[in-house]
Amino acid sequence: MNLKPRYAVFGNPVAHSKSPQIHQEFAKQEGADIDYGRICADIGGFAEAAARFFAEGGQGANVTLPFKVDAYNWVDEHSERALAAGAVNTVIPLGGGRFLGDNTDGVGMVQDILKAQNVGIAGRNILIIGAGGAVRGVVPVLQDEKPAGIVIANRTPEKARELAGRFGVQTALLSELPADGFDIIINASSGGLSGELPDIAPEVFGKCLLAYDMVYGKEAEPFLRFARASGAVQTADGLGMLVGQAAFSYQLWRGFAPDIVPVIRTIKEL
């Protein structure tokens, strides 16, 4: 019988997920012994797979693509962050067969920017490129840090306007962004997955302290290379965000707050 506390990440595909290694690093910090697996649920089969996992004693789950909205619909209660994002990446059992859904993606990114990239957010001008699900989760958490302003720009301007209206931030056309206008520029568009760059002028990066891509690895490279060549002082891919969101999940399940900085270093070397 397996007596270790059991956790898992649900996704499809999920074989590539670094979450098991990340959570084992956190467990080392805590001095705990945990079991953290990957579960590849069938498309449309999240609810059944999650119910089985928790019936068999699972103590917490992470959820990645394409199940974050399925998880949102499956849980019984939502944190404010999950409600704002409309998506759940962390499931916490409440007992009595009830489950809480949270979303730690936004706080994970903010902690990475503050603690690992050492870039302050308060008083900064922030540009977010993209207006998809990922942006919904991060805007309210960025607002909590009191930036001077947030501008959302997207290939489809109506979607940027809709999100900007919801959160009370600004919007602009990609082709009309001001030169030297932003301290932090975050790429949340999925264009990099197909090797495409957002259609913005290099001058937009003129005063950029940090260019950040929410994806990590090869897919982030074209945007970060363009940002550096255009004058961005510092660049970061989303690996730190991945470790950051995992750290908040771990804390929600176990009450232990891992230090993300050494774990980002270790995972980068894998």
Binding site for ligand ATR (CB under 6 A): 130-135, 154-156, 159, 188-191, 196, 198
We find the least distance from the C-beta atom of residue 190 to ligand ATR, in angstroms, to be 4
Closest CA to 166 of 178, 182, 150: 150
- Smaller CB separation from ligand ATR, 78 or 155: 155
Provide the minimum distance between the beta carbon of 140 and ligand ATR in the complex, in angstroms, as a whole number: 15
Nearer Cβ to ligand ATR, position 48 or 196?
196
68 tagged catalytic: yes
Residue with the CB atom nearest ligand ATR in the bound state: 132
Taking the complex as a whole, the smallest distance from the CB of residue 238 to ligand ATR amounts, in Å, to: 11
Q: How far is the CB of 133 from ligand ATR (least distance, A)?
A: 3
Q: Closest CB to ligand ATR among 6 and 68?
A: 68
Of 68, 207, 218, 268, which is the active-site residue?
68
Nearer to ligand ATR, 160 or 263 (CB): 160
Enzyme catalytic residues: 68
